[in-house]
Structure 1
Amino acid sequence: MKIGLVRHFKVKQAYPFGRSLSACEVDQWFRDYDEADIEEGSTDLGGIEWDCCYASDLPRAIRTAEKIHVGPIYQMAELREIPAPTFETKFKLSFVWWALLIRMSWLINRQTRQDIRHAKARINKVLDQAIAQKEGNVLIVSHAALMKFLRKELLNRGFKGPGFGHAKNGMLYVFEMRKGRDL
């Protein structure tokens, strides 16, 4: 059995560089990003026959899945990205500083740590379902941060596959059960 991970295609939502933003404006940017269209691309599926596809239920992942997979696509809220934290401050910061705060929020924000725990539980549920099929290859279209946790859990379950820091848009990462391991 193979499990393929693909990050959605690039999103047509410009980063708001060059100006300071309030916390509310950053929240709105993320809401707009969640609904934005994608730049259509292509994905090399490695000549592998993918029997089914699980995709995040966010528009960018669904559209990507529809472009790269012919066959059933199961839209799953469990594959949504970990939500960006919200901040309650009157300060305005550049988007780069907001991005740094968001990246560091797992250290300083209790809600973010809880969101990460929930994301890991969601990932386990999806992988349990995918592996329960035992036959066939499963393609999963999701989001960058969630893919890091998906990769880690696949390795913990005996799969082998490539490493990646920040998953590239539209790139396929294939994981396969190690020889001698049972599902």
Structure 2
Amino acid sequence: MKIGLVRHFKVIHKHDGSWMTSDQFNSWVEAYNNAEIEDTDLEYGLSEWNVCISSDLSRAVQTAEMIYPGSVIVTDQLREIEIQSIHALGNLKLPCQMWMVMGRIAWFFSHSSQAERKNETVDRARHTIEWIEEHYSNRNVLVVSHGAFMKVLTQELFKKGYRGKGLMNPRNGAMYIYEK
């Protein structure tokens, strides 16, 4: 069995480097979640993939529909780990990247500011792999998801005996293959 992980194509929504409050950062994240994606001409060797499963966020669904010729199974279980600002900082203005780092650190330590705790994310990744194995055990499965969640998913794939490349910073549109 092979599982191919693809991070959605690059999102057309940049931060301008300006400093923002926690509310402004949360608005920026919402706009990012609804932004369009760039098209690409990458080749994916689609003949070896029997099924495609995608996160339900529009950037992932659009990517899946661009790279996979068949029907795409859409699920919220492959969503990105939600990121939110730490409201305790009030109207303090920080660069967008600083809010991002602080949000991921808060998630890592299961801080109450984040919608999903780390252990919940790990459980979601583990259950997703178990569901894929249960329903598609004799097939090669293409999965379209998001950078941070893909890192957790990869760790869980390794724990289940899959082999493949470790992920530090998954590139948009790149495919990472795991075999068991």
Same fold (TM over 0.5): yes
TM score, norm. by length of structure 1: 0.89
Q: Would the aligned equivalents of 2:82 and 2:115 in 1 still touch at CA under 8 Å?
A: no
Partner Cα separation in structure 1 for residue 13 and residue 41 of structure 2: 19
Aligned length: 176
Partner Cα separation in structure 1 for residue 66 and residue 3 of structure 2: 18
Q: Which runs of structure 2 are paired with 1:25-174 in the superposition (5 Å)?
A: 25-46=24-45, 48-88=47-87, 89-105=90-106, 106-107=108-109, 109-112=111-114, 114-132=116-134, 133-174=136-177
**Equivalent residue for 1:2?**
2
TM score, norm. by length of structure 2: 0.90
Q: Does 1:12 align with 2:20?
A: no
CA distance 1:109–1:16, change in 2 (3 Å)? farther
Gaps of 5+ in 2: none
Partner Cα separation in structure 1 for residue 47 and residue 121 of structure 2: 28
Structure 1 consecutive aligned stretches of length 4 or more whose deviation exceeds 3 Å: 110-114
CA distance 1:156–1:48, change in 2 (3 Å)? farther
CA RMSD of aligned residues (A): 1.7
| AA aligned opposite 2:129 | L
CA distance 1:51–1:97, change in 2 (3 Å)? same
Q: Would the aligned equivalents of 1:44 and 1:172 in 2 still touch at CA under 8 Å?
A: no
Q: Would the aligned equivalents of 1:83 and 1:115 in 2 still touch at CA under 8 Å?
A: no
Deviation at 1:117, TM superposition (A): 1.8
CA distance 1:47–1:96, change in 2 (3 Å)? closer
Partner Cα separation in structure 2 for residue 20 and residue 120 of structure 1: 32
Gaps of 5+ in 1: 178-183
